[in-house]
Amino acid sequence: MKLLKNAIKLFKDIYEDRRLLIDLSTKDVQRRFSGTYFGMVWGFLQPLMTIVVYWAVFQFGFRSGDVGEIPFVLWFITGIICWLFISEAFSFASNSLLEYSYLIQKVKFNVNILPLVKILSSFYIHLFFLAIVLIICAIFGYLPTIRIIQLLYYMMATIILVFGMSLLSSSIMVFFRDLNQIISIILLLGMWGTPIAWDLDIFEPNIQRILKLNPFYYLVEGYRDALLGRKWFTDRPELGIYFWSVTAVVLLVGIYFYTKLKPHFADTV
C-alpha cells in the first residue's frame, strides 16, 4: 500500500511540474549539442548513420532477404527506430541525476522529473526519425493506414517502460558509477537479443516463445505493425498482457528503490 502511495505521489508531482518538464527537456536537446559547429544536426546525423551502416551490413554483407512480403530495408528500419529511442533514452535517463546534480541540491526542486526530462529530449529526436521512416515507407509503396494511430500507444508504452527502468538505474548510478558501463553491455545484448536485424521465424517455436519474453520484442513488433499496417495491438492479447505485467513490475521496483534512495541523493552527487 505504501508503494502504491509513493507511485501516485510520484506521478502527481510530475504532472504538477509538467510545464517545467517540457521546458527542461527542450533546453536539454539544445544544450546537448551546444558548442558544436553543426549543433543539433549531430543529434540526427549520428543515429541516421547508425541505421544506414546496420542496414548496409545486413542487406549486402549478410545478404538478408525480404521478410515475407516486406522489403528488408523497411522491416529493419521500422524496428531499429524503436530500439534507438529505447537505448538513447535509457542511457541518458540513467545519468540524469548525476548530470543535473546541481538541481538536486536545491531544496524546492522536483527531482522526480529529471529521468523523464532525458526521455522526452530523446523523444523529440525520435519524432524526427519517425517522419523520415514514414517517407521511406511511402517511397516503397507502404502508405500509412488507419493502424498508424496505434503508434501513439506503442510510444506511450515505450516511455513508461523506459521510465521505470531509468528510475532504478539512475538511483543506483548515484552510488555506483560503474553501472554506466554495465548499461552499455546490457544495451548491446538487448540490441542483438531483440529481432531487429534478424527474423524470429528462423527459430523453432519453443525458442521463439523464450525470445518473446523479451519485453522489447512487443515494442519493436508493435512499431512495425503500426508503420507497415500489419496488425492491431489487440491482435496480440497475450503479448500485451505479458508486456504490461512486466512493465508494471519494473515500474514498481524502480519507484521502490528511487523513493528509498532519494533522501541520500543530495549528500552523494
- In this prediction, residue 242 carries a pLDDT of 95
Nearest C-alpha neighbor of 242 from the set 206, 217, 205, 208:
217
Residue 94 has pLDDT above 70, yes or no: yes
Task: Render pLDDT for 70-86 as a digit per residue (tens, 0 to 9).
Answer: 888 888 889 999 999 99
Residue 224 has pLDDT above 80, yes or no: yes
Taking a C-beta distance cutoff of 8 angstroms, is the pair 40, 29 a contact? yes
Q: Region 153-180: what's the mean pLDDT?
A: 93
Beta bridge partners of 67: 70
How sure is the predictor about 108, in pLDDT bands with cuts at 50, 70 and 90?
A: confident
Cα→Cα distances 20→25, 26, 134, 161, 266, Å: 8, 10, 31, 22, 20
Task: Render pLDDT for 130-142 as a digit per residue (tens, 0 to 9).
Answer: 888 888 889 888 8
Q: What percent of the chain shows pLDDT beyond 70?
A: 89
Residues in contact with 60: Cβ distance below 8 Å, sequence separation at least 6, in sequence order: none
Residue 202 has pLDDT above 70, yes or no: yes
How sure is the predictor about 156, in pLDDT bands with cuts at 50, 70 and 90?
A: very high
| 256, three cell numbers | 521502490
Q: In terms of pLDDT, which residue wins out, 162 or 44?
A: 162
- In this prediction, residue 107 carries a pLDDT of 61
- In this prediction, residue 42 carries a pLDDT of 64
pTM here?
Answer: 0.88
